[in-house]
Each structure stands twice: as structure tokens, then as C-alpha cells.
Amino acid sequence: MPSINCEAYDYLEIACLYHYQVVLALRNGTSISGKALNVGVVILSDIKQEAMLIEQADGESIWLPTSDLVNMQVDTPESQFTFVSF
């Protein structure tokens, strides 16, 4: 899986810092929306990888590997950015 570049990673960190409401498009064609909470290195499926923690509308939080991200749309009003491609 490809890794995202450092500049794009900065956008993930900003989204988490301000807990932006985001819609993440994934490589498998699906999308996930929720509040951006954290980014970091976690173990998913027995593999250490960079991931983003998202709190969904139902309150469930999930870690998404950053290598699965295609783009991120920010739905929070007056955010510092509104869209980034990975």
C-alpha cells in the first residue's frame, strides 16, 4: 500500500487538532464520515501502520490506515481547508 506524503499528513494532523467533521474517501470506493480525533502509528491486523482515528455519528471510533485514504473533505464551517487529495 502506498504511504501518503508529509505535506498531506500535515492536513490529517490539522483536522485532528481541531476535531474537524470530515468525509474520507477510501481506495475501496467507500467513504466514512465523522470527527477526526487522532493520527498515529497503531497495530491493525497485526501490522504496524499509520492510521487516523475517526469518531462516527453513532459514537463508534475506528482507526483507518492512512494508506487507504484517497481524499478528505472537511465539512466544518470556517475550517483552514476544505479538501485534500492523498
User: Could you tell me the CATH number of the domain that includes residue 64?
Assistant: 2.30.30.720
Distance CA 51, CA 38 (A): 8
DSSP state of 56: -
Looking at the domain assignment, is residue 62 inside a domain?
Answer: yes
Number of domains within the chain: 1
Specify if 1 maps to a domain.
no
pLDDT at 16: 98
Q: In what order do the strands lie in the sheet with 47-55?
A: 61-65, 47-55, 31-44, 21-26, 69-74, 83-85
- pLDDT one digit per residue (tens) for the chain, 86 residues: 557 888 999 999 999 999 999 999 999 999 999 999 999 999 998 999 999 999 999 999 999 999 999 999 999 999 999 999 99
pLDDT reported for residue 80: 96
Q: Which domain holds residue 61?
A: 6-85
What is the reported pLDDT for 59?
Answer: 96
Q: What was the pLDDT predicted at 2? A: 57
Q: Residue 56 falls within a domain, yes or no?
A: yes
At 3 the pLDDT is: 73
Cell of 35: 470527527
